[in-house]
Amino acid sequence: MKLSKTCLSLFVALTGSLAAGQVLAHDIVPGKAAATPVLLTGLTVHSVTSGVSTDTDVLIADGKIAAIGTDLAAPEGATVMALDGKHLYPGLIALANQLGLIEIEAVRSTDDSTEVTQTNPDIRAKVAYNADSEVIPTIRSNGFAYAMVYPSGSMLMGQSSLMQLDAWNYQDAVVADATGLHVRWPNASTLGSRWNPKPADEVRKANAEQLEALQQHFKDAKAYYDAEQAGLNHGVDSRWHQMLPVFKGERPLFVHADDERQIRQAMLLAKQYGLKLTIVGGRDSWRMADELAAAKVAVIYTAPYGLPTRVDENFRQAFITPKVLQDAGVQYALSLDGYWDTRNLVFAAGQAISYGLTPEQALRSVTINAAQIAGVADTIGSIEVGKAASLVVSDGDIFDYLGHKVTHLWIDGRAVDLNNRHKQLHDKYRQRIN
Amino acid sequence: MTSERLSLLSAALLATFAGSSHADQTTPIQGIIDKTPNLVALTGATVYTEPGKKQEKATVLIADGRISAVGTKVTVPAGYQQIDASRYTLYPGFIDPYTQYGIAAAEKAKRGSYRDAPVYTNERKGGNASNAAIHAEKDWVTEFEPDAKAAEQLRKLGFTAAQSARFDGIFRGQAFVSSLGDGLANELVLKASGPQFMAFDKGTSKQSYPSSLMGSIALIRQTLSDANWYNNAYGKTDVRYFNEPVEFNAALASISNIAQAGVVFETNDDRSLLRANQLFNEFKLNNVAMVGSGYEYVRLADIKASGRSLILPLNFPAAPEVEQVADQLDVSLADLRHWERAPANAAALAQAGVPFALTTYRLKELKQFWPNLRKAVKQGLTTDKALAALTTEPARLAGVADRLGKIAPGYQADIVLADGDLFADGNIVATWIRGQQHNVETVNPVEFAGDYQLTVAGKAITVNLTGAGDKLSGTATAVDAEAVKLTDVKAQQQQLQFNLALKTLTGSAQVAQFSGRLTDNVLTGKWQIATRAESVSAKRQTAGQSKSQQAKKPQSTAGTMLSKMTFPNRAYGLPELAKQQNVHIKNATVWTAEQDGILEQTDVIVRNGKFDKIGKNLSTPSGFAVIDATGMHLTPGIIDEHSHVAIEAGVNEGTAAVTSEVRIGDVINPEDINLYRGLAGGTTTAQLLHGSANPIGGQAQVIQFRWGETAEGLKMKSAPPSIKFALGENVKQSNWGDAFTSRYPQTRIGVETTIRDAFQAAKEYKTKLAAYNKLSKRQREDVAPPRIDYRLQALVEILDKQRFIHTHSYVASEILMLIELADEMGFNITTFTHILEGYKTSKEMLAHGASASTFADWWAYKMEVQDAIPTNACLMAEQGMLVSINSDDAGLQRRLNQEAAKSVMYCGMSQHDALKMVTINPAKQLKIDSVTGSIKVGKQADFVLWNTNPLSVYSQAQQTWIGGTKYFDIDTDKQLQQQLEAERAALIQKVLMADDDAKAGDKDGYKQDEPEWHCEDQGDWWQISNHLHLHGHSH
């Protein structure tokens, strides 16, 4: 769900090609592969998987992390960068957002995030990913190297992809194709919308109808799968064909759900069909953390900054939920389900430290945990020899406003230009101050 | 309504009355003149002559529609028809002061959508008001058509008179009082012209304005003012300020005497009642009765202090749906509490001495009236107060206390005759209205109940009859057989019929049919068994008793309430209003937001709500509490220049391009949980702004987050008036949908002219007023005065530097335009808010003398924020501007410290300067910096204690204080959390154990939490709230 942002109109503009001229490719060129190894020295390395080590060197070669250690010798021809006392983290990963799919939320012509109809398992978010989006460089400059973008809609919404954020086009941005099928779960609360209030009984009835419709879609898709196994299908149903990997267990199910009742319904469905389930949203996950852990259901928690879901909940409930998930042993990652505000995810993780996570746990929630949920933990998400050299350097604690200052970012060993539209406008108009 | 069938007898009586009612005085008589006398004596009754006054074995004489005598020593004169009322209790006839009786109800409001095309005008006819929600000129008596069916339904509850008008619109027209008897309107009208019925809800009006509660209030304010003006202006010959004669206006003419005629105002809850009270106080209108909501108990002291009389509906909320564990997620503590307490509301009001009448209004089914009133009695409402609320109080409110409400000589003969005590389990048998008898049941019915020894088919049986009237039933038993139920039992006067299947008694397959009569306690009749007839006779052996003779008394069985009462009455409310404390804060890191900067290891002493001393190692004055703040940081309370929390029923009155007459201050919602959440984030003060739907929006209100206080208590009285302006996409309706393309302006070029023209009008208006004020008293007698225009008045205040502009703005061009226009028209812009391209125009804004309040890092969500940058605040500050960071969002409002920190991060602002952007800088923008915004001796003690550096992502507010009063404490919060969970659980248990009767009620009988308002939220509030109420059900 997109964030409803203040002073953005409630109403989606129905026309409006006016922005087309504004959405220009900018002059920030994707980083080139380094011809020679690069040795980073003197860093405090936050490895994620093997703790924090100070005064440590990291060698980048062929786009990978070639070595980690103290006083590493620079290979011949290597570029040595002295980064004494700075902090090195894996490139951060932002799951479940619409980066590159929306440029200006209120301008319909710049929004390719949300399709109509309830049955779009064949939709692939990546094909609308605008690698030249002005938004993306502003996310990178806060330390993010990857984003998993998903198509929105209702019910079966389509497939997400994990993108690296420094690319010429969507094809070279894709890190992991079809990381999962995204499903928006129907409402399960008895409360109608505040803008269109209805009595509880009517809401229950509508909920039941929606749930039944969703279940029917899965039945139909499963029927297609069964017939496919038996060689009995008459042709390719474009929709259900893309559900085959789901039933084969090759493509996980990402269910967007916040309410405890929705999550329970989704768990039942996942169990019925033997599907790997990840919850996206998960506001109520704290109410059922033990069950989620036992059922090995992962959570992409999107409300680290959230207001309480209900009026009786404590003001801090949304803030402490990561800690509850952590303690229960739930596999989880943090996310802000939007696009431009993704750059604040790192601080949301910082706030989760304030509300109970250790710094290491918070770091995992935007690196290795996210990589695991996206199915790419073997290549990214931690600082380990052999993994992609996707690394970010901050002058201080990357999670805190008082320390965060990103000075370098590499993706697959390519040095990323940290310039962005904001810095350019800043530099331009700073000339006018007198 | 129950479909209790009347007995054949009483139905016949009713028919007779309908035919013989005497003709009125002006209709030419056709046929034979009816001169049937109507002289009645009700004898031997228990008579409540008025609340608290009871006579036993009294006689009431009725002559020609009036009561001529009451008393225990009254003898029945010759010629009177005597009715033995010795088994009955008589009450004065009840009066419902708030009905639509005899008036066709308005067609239900069409379900609309916020996407529907706007309607900017009203159909004009007959000199009506320009707004379709004003029906002030309606004189509802002229539309009165007696409604026999509705009257009968009300009579069954004991009502004999009603005050009525149509429930539609804001000014609904003048009510009238009528009897609920049969006859022509000419005969039934008791008072032709009564109070104006009013409400905030615009009802079926299709006109877009007002789309919000504050719009409704503004419309009421303008209309009341207009009425005064009209009174003074209409007909005057010197019309120099109009250049034409003053228009005729039927609506204004009809409310010119509203102070005398009075108002009955419909409220929705305690907040709306207090709000209406405030509004009528402005106009010194004392004669206003408030139709209540059942929520009065939560603000009892304030409601009592209002001095208003209430008209209380008796609809109670249905129990929250907790039967399924999962559904409990959707139930709030506030609702659970209200379910438990609502039936005790009337008792609480009575105990507090608040006068009230009762009404059937809001009952989904009229038959709920007595069960609900008895619930209220069980919860402690005394029967005297209950009776007063049905008789003398409504008589007083309807202005008929000299004729109705008592059983006393000279009063209209409106009487309720009941079997038993109505407030216990009695039932209404008949009413007299203007001396006419209307039976609900048979008066003095023949009682068949008892045992009769009969034989049938040679078998001795005992027939046992119980009940009476329609509820008469019976069994037959023999010594050697089980009881057999009698079927088809029917009684009519003294005659009785029933059928008896003989199988069980005699083995015969036949049915015996009894028909007979009861005279002198002897039942005589015959059995018809197929072709055979058997005569029988038996004496009744035990007789039944009437309810009056059983003398069941109403009892208060109010159990212990499990729910707490808090301020506000919801989760995290305080058990009592927070109190000021004198306190010594020791050894804190103090961020002064003054030139002193950040002071390490410093003490602060707070005395009488103010900072008293700041220094090192201060000694603790005697009696002062001590807070050891070692390791903690002390900052001024966070101030938000731009907020929409705690606003009720619409943040925009976006139905016109200029709405400077609407006031956020009219619609403060002190119960908004976001106030508490804001406190938990260190926020103490916010400017609540109108939305950004129009170039000149509504008046703003600065509040302090004094959680627990009323709306008035939240207002910061020392803050000068301010107003919201807006520019750009929202005001030109760029993103409102295809239906919204007709309101001027649709472009930034039109925004300029709109604002210019409004100020031009304001200037001319000011000139006229000044000219009029210069006239001598003598001259004014002939001159039609200029009309007070609240819309222009606010702009005049701006021109007079009495009201300050905060303008929503984004792009460079519109910023420069407004500055140019301000210079041209002679007004100042105090603060550009949002101002995401402020960094492009900071020189010009600074030169104008304006300040800037911006978002830390928002951008990209719409076209006009494409050039927003997170270093905007730094660049504007570098130019020398006064800069603050605002939230515009309930979520962001609780981490404004973090938002300020982003300027440290993105562009190296000093930490102290960053903190000033959410403390002293916004205080200066709101012109409250002499009172608050920094830690300075003499200033109001608004402060926050943080666990660490407040700009760190790791900081959390530990305590938040306003004026030396602690409103948030992180430890108290944890206790509140535990307590509310226990209370919730106990109340859920109570619902689960409750019987159906205790659970029954209105599912929509609860306050609705407001949506999180944002400045673009634009729906028609009245349509939204109507959806809800049109869909309410009861079970």
B543 versus A308: the higher-pLDDT residue is: A308
| Pair B246, B233: CB distance under 8 Å | yes
Label residue B617 left, alpha or beta by phi (over 0 means left) and psi (-120 to 50 means alpha). left
Q: Which chain B residue is nearest to residue A347, measuring alpha carbons?
A: B953
Nearest CA to B570 out of B335, B343, B348, B339 is that of: B335
Q: How far is A222 from chain B (nearest CA, A)?
A: 29
Q: How confident is the model at residue B549 (pLDDT cuts 50, 70, 90)?
A: low
Task: Determine the Cα–Cα distance for residues B6 and A267; give it in Å rounded to an integer.
Answer: 59
Question: Would you say residue B993 has pLDDT above 80?
Answer: yes
Q: For residue B724, what are the contacts with CB-CB under 8 A and spacing of at least 6?
A: B689, B690, B691, B692, B697, B698, B699, B700, B806, B807, B808
Nearest residue, CB atoms, B871 vs list A315, A354, A426? A426
Beta strands in B204-345 (DSSP E): 263-266, 288-291, 309-313
Interface probe, candidates B690, B888, B953, B1020, chain A, greatest A C-beta count within 10 A: B953
Nearest residue, CB atoms, A106 vs list B738, B863, B894? B863
- Structure token digits, residue A420: 């962005």
- Structure token digits, residue B162: 């009603």
- Estimate to the nearest angstrom the gap between the alpha carbon of A19 and the chain centroid: 26
Task: Determine the Cα–Cα distance for residues A347 and A144; give it in Å rounded to an integer.
Answer: 12
- Estimate to the nearest angstrom the gap between the alpha carbon of A60 and the chain centroid: 26
- Structure token digits, residue B254: 């009809």
Q: How confident is the model at residue B554 (pLDDT cuts 50, 70, 90)?
A: confident
Question: Would you say residue B25 has pLDDT above 90?
Answer: no
pLDDT tens digit string along B581-599?
999 999 999 999 999 999 9
Long-range contacts from B891-894, C-beta under 8 angstroms, 24+ separation: B891/A305, B891/A306, B891/A307, B893/B640, B893/B643, B893/B645, B893/B674, B893/B677, B893/B678, B893/B681, B893/B683, B893/B686, B894/A315, B894/B677, B894/B678, B894/B680, B894/B681, B894/B682, B894/B683
Name the burial class of residue B863, with classes exposed (0-12), middle (13-18) and buried (19+) by CB atoms within 10 angstroms of its CB: buried
Residues 377-396 of A with CB under 8 A from B: none
pLDDT tens digit string along B84-119?
999 999 999 999 999 999 999 888 766 456 667 788
Question: Measuring CA to CA, how many Å separate A318 from each of A127, A255, B891?
Answer: 33, 19, 11
Q: How confident is the model at residue B1034 (pLDDT cuts 50, 70, 90)?
A: very low
* pLDDT value, residue A116: 94
Whether residue A6 and residue B1015 make contact (CB cut-off 8 A), yes or no, is yes
For chain A, give every residue range classified as CATH 3.20.20.140.
92-379
- Structure token digits, residue B320: 């929250």
pLDDT tens digit string along B65-78?
999 999 999 999 99
Q: How confident is the model at residue B609 (pLDDT cuts 50, 70, 90)?
A: very high
Whether residue B1016 and residue A7 make contact (CB cut-off 8 A), yes or no, is yes
| β-bridge partners, A64 | A61, A388
Name the burial class of residue B449, with classes exposed (0-12), middle (13-18) and buried (19+) by CB atoms within 10 angstroms of its CB: middle
What's the average model confidence in pLDDT over A295-308? 97
Cβ of A105 under 8 Å from any chain B Cβ? yes
- Please calculate the CA angle B687-B691-B697 and round it to the nearest 5 degrees: 95
pLDDT tens digit string along B641-665?
999 999 999 999 988 999 999 999 9
Whether residue A10 and residue B973 make contact (CB cut-off 8 A), yes or no, is no
Task: Determine the Cα–Cα distance for residues A150 and A161; give it in Å rounded to an integer.
Answer: 7
What would the DSSP string read from start to end of B114-143? TTSPP-------TT--SSTTB-TT-BGGGG
For chain A, give every residue range classified as CATH 2.30.40.10.
27-91+381-434
Q: For residue B481, what are the contacts with CB-CB under 8 A and spacing of at least 6?
A: B504, B505
Cis check for the bond before B922: say yes or no (omega within 30 of 0). Answer: no
pLDDT tens digit string along B436-481?
999 998 888 888 888 999 999 888 999 999 887 778 899 999 888 8
What's the average model confidence in pLDDT over B125-131? 94
What's the average model confidence in pLDDT over B824-836? 97
ipTM: 0.94
* pLDDT value, residue B544: 57
To which CATH superfamily is domain A27-91+381-434 assigned?
Answer: Urease, subunit C, domain 1 (2.30.40.10)
B164 DSSP 8-state letter:
E
For residue A141, which residues of chain B lie inside 8 Å, CB to CB? Answer: none
* pLDDT value, residue B4: 42
| β-bridge partners, A174 | A163
| Pair A107, A13: CB distance under 8 Å | yes
Residues 888-917 of B with CB under 8 A from A: 888-891, 894-895, 898, 901-902, 904-905, 907, 911
- Estimate to the nearest angstrom the gap between the alpha carbon of A80 and the chain centroid: 33
What's the average model confidence in pLDDT over B923-932? 98
Q: How confident is the model at residue B547 (pLDDT cuts 50, 70, 90)?
A: low
Task: Determine the Cα–Cα distance for residues B919 and B641; give it in Å rounded to an integer.
Answer: 10
Query: Where are the domains positioned within chain B?
Result: 94-400, 450-543
Which amino acid, residue B962? Answer: I
Nearest residue, CB atoms, B953 vs list A16, A107, A347? A347
Task: Determine the Cα–Cα distance for residues B366 and B162; give it in Å rounded to an integer.
Answer: 14
For residue A353, which residues of chain B lie inside 8 Å, CB to CB? Answer: 953-954
Is residue A373 helix, strand or coil?
Answer: helix
| Pair B222, B1031: CB distance under 8 Å | no
- Structure token digits, residue B694: 């129009």
Residues 150-179 of A with CB under 8 A from B: none
What's the average model confidence in pLDDT over A201-225? 96
Phi, psi of B716 (to 5 degrees): -95, 105
Chain A and chain B share a number of CB contacts under 8 A equal to: 220
CATH node for B94-400: 3.20.20.140
* pLDDT value, residue B1029: 44
What's the average model confidence in pLDDT over A264-278? 97
B733 DSSP 8-state letter:
T
Residues 110-129 of A with CB under 8 A from B: none
Nearest residue, CB atoms, B860 vs list A6, A135, A402? A135
Nearest residue, CB atoms, B737 vs list A11, A106, A195? A11
Cβ of B1012 under 8 Å from any chain A Cβ? yes
Beta strands in B713-843 (DSSP E): 722-726, 804-809, 829-834
Nearest residue, CB atoms, A433 vs list B879, B901, B1014? B879
Residue holding tokens 């500055």?
A: B819
* pLDDT value, residue A200: 87
Question: Would you say residue B24 has pLDDT above 70?
Answer: no
Is residue A305 helix, strand or coil?
Answer: coil
What's the average model confidence in pLDDT over A182-210? 89
* pLDDT value, residue B109: 62
pLDDT tens digit string along A329-385?
999 999 999 999 999 999 999 999 999 999 999 999 999 999 999 999 999 999 999
| Pair B607, B625: CB distance under 8 Å | no
Q: Which CATH architecture has domain A92-379?
A: Alpha-Beta Barrel (3.20)
Residues 918-957 of B with CB under 8 A from A: 949, 951-956
Cβ of B853 under 8 Å from any chain A Cβ? no
* pLDDT value, residue A198: 81
| β-bridge partners, B357 | B311
Name the burial class of residue A274, with classes exposed (0-12), middle (13-18) and buried (19+) by CB atoms within 10 angstroms of its CB: exposed
Length of chain A: 434
Long-range contacts from B980-984, C-beta under 8 angstroms, 24+ separation: B980/A312, B980/B333, B980/B571, B980/B572, B983/B333, B983/B562, B983/B563, B983/B564, B984/A312, B984/B333, B984/B336
Q: How confident is the model at residue B548 (pLDDT cuts 50, 70, 90)?
A: low
Inter-axis angle of helices B213-233 and B790-799, to 10 degrees? 100
Handedness of CA B945, B947, B950, B953 (dihedral sign): negative
* pLDDT value, residue B21: 45
Question: Would you say residue A13 has pLDDT above 50?
Answer: no
* pLDDT value, residue B43: 96
Q: How confident is the model at residue A4 (pLDDT cuts 50, 70, 90)?
A: very low
Whether residue B1009 and residue A311 make contact (CB cut-off 8 A), yes or no, is yes
Q: How far is A312 from chain B (nearest CA, A)?
A: 6
Q: How confident is the model at residue A192 (pLDDT cuts 50, 70, 90)?
A: confident
- Structure token digits, residue B952: 């760190």
Q: Which helix (H) or strand (E) holds B1021?
A: helix B1021-1030
Average pLDDT, chain B: 92
pLDDT tens digit string along B491-510?
888 899 999 999 988 888 89
B51 DSSP 8-state letter:
T
Interface probe, candidates A110, A141, A315, A354, chain B, greatest B C-beta count within 10 A: A315
What spatial distance separates the first Cα and last Cα of chain B, rounded to whole Å? 14
What's the average model confidence in pLDDT over B1009-1025? 70
Q: How far is A181 from chain B (nearest CA, A)?
A: 27
Question: Would you say residue B1033 has pLDDT above 80?
Answer: no
Cβ of B584 under 8 Å from any chain A Cβ? no
Q: Which chain B residue is nearest to residue A3, measuring alpha carbons?
A: B861
Handedness of CA A318, A319, A325, A328 (dihedral sign): negative
Whether residue B1018 and residue A261 make contact (CB cut-off 8 A), yes or no, is no
Cβ of B860 under 8 Å from any chain A Cβ? yes
Nearest CA to B160 out of B90, B262, B106 is that of: B90
For residue B843, which residues of chain A lie inside 8 Å, CB to CB? Answer: 432-434
* pLDDT value, residue B569: 96
Q: How confident is the model at residue B1005 (pLDDT cuts 50, 70, 90)?
A: confident
pLDDT tens digit string along B735-787?
887 788 888 899 999 999 999 999 999 999 999 999 999 999 999 999 999 99
Cβ of B1011 under 8 Å from any chain A Cβ? yes
- Estimate to the nearest angstrom the gap between the alpha carbon of B973 and the chain centroid: 30
| Pair A345, A92: CB distance under 8 Å | yes
What would the DSSP string read from start to end of B888-937? SSTTGGGGHHHHHHHHHHHH---HHHHHHTTTHHHHHHTT-TTTSSS--T
Cβ of B866 under 8 Å from any chain A Cβ? yes
| Pair B828, B746: CB distance under 8 Å | no
Cβ of B396 under 8 Å from any chain A Cβ? no
Nearest residue, CB atoms, B863 vs list A107, A202, A343? A107
Q: Which CATH architecture has domain B450-543?
A: Beta Barrel (2.40)
pLDDT tens digit string along A413-428?
999 999 999 999 999 9
Residues 13-72 of A with CB under 8 A from B: 13-14, 16, 18-19, 22
